[in-house]
Amino acid sequence: MTLRTWKAIALATGLFAVGGAYAQQQAAPAAPNLDAVPDKMPFAAPYGAPITMERAQVLIKAAVTEADKRGWAMNIAVVDTNGDLVSFARMSGAQLASIAISQHKARTAARYRRPTHAFEDAVQKFGFNYILTLDDVVASRGGIPLMEGGKLIGAIGCSGGTGSQDEAVCGAAANTINEVASNK
């Protein structure tokens, strides 16, 4: 055999070994038992009074501040408890496709009363592809419900970066709801 053939065999063997080790390392967590009947309804936070435009704009400002600090151009949407748009901002340079995506993430988080990250995990980690058949779901992080006094008042959705960037900006803004509520 030629030296070139031996190198190819060695390379293939190495890639196979590394691939196997990586696959073992990336083992998916155990899937939840879908046949289990929980005692309490999950994601059943009661609805509160919908967020006002003034408060929604405070959240938008907090999200823009966080995005600016990190150098990320984002689209940011705040919706009420029904998922209807209350306030929206598109930062200069934010991608146009993300306008609708930010609103969709916020709407999904409000209507399903859970972060959109939960849907992403259901599909990516557990292979629950049926999630994608639910009406008006987006399985991408960056949508966070807004809770005040244990009640849902709306949701915020961000889009324009990676899912983790979108979620970081939304999280920074959503956290201000608790700060504002505790200062009253």
pLDDT in tens, 14-45: 444 444 444 445 555 677 777 778 788 878 88
CA separation, residue 27 to residues 15, 23, 54, 118, 126 (Å): 18, 7, 46, 19, 11
Q: What band does 117 get if pLDDT is binned at 50, 70 and 90?
A: very high
Question: What pLDDT score does 180 carry?
Answer: 60
CA neighbours closer than 13 Å in the CB half-sphere of residue 51: 35
Instruction: Find tokens 């980690």 and name the residue.
Output: 125
Q: Confidence class of residue 179 from pLDDT cuts 50, 70 and 90?
A: low
H-helix segments, the chain: 3-25, 53-70, 97-112, 116-124, 163-182
CATH class of 53-182: alpha beta
Lowest mean pLDDT among 93-107, 115-129, 150-164: 115-129
pTM for this one?
A: 0.79
Q: Please give the pLDDT value at position 40.
A: 84
Domain ranges of the chain: 53-182
Q: Give the range among 1-10, 112-121, 136-145 with minimum mean pLDDT.
A: 1-10
Please compute the mean of the pLDDT values over residues 118-133 and round it to a whole number. 91
| pLDDT value of residue 62 | 97
pLDDT of residue 59: 97
Structure-model confidence comparison of residues 73 and 23, the more confident one: 73
- Rounded to the nearest 10 degrees, the angle between the axes of helix 97-112 and helix 163-182 is 50
What is the tens place of the pLDDT at every residue in 134-174? 998 999 999 999 999 999 999 999 999 999 999 999 999 99
What percent of the chain is predicted at pLDDT more than 90? Answer: 66
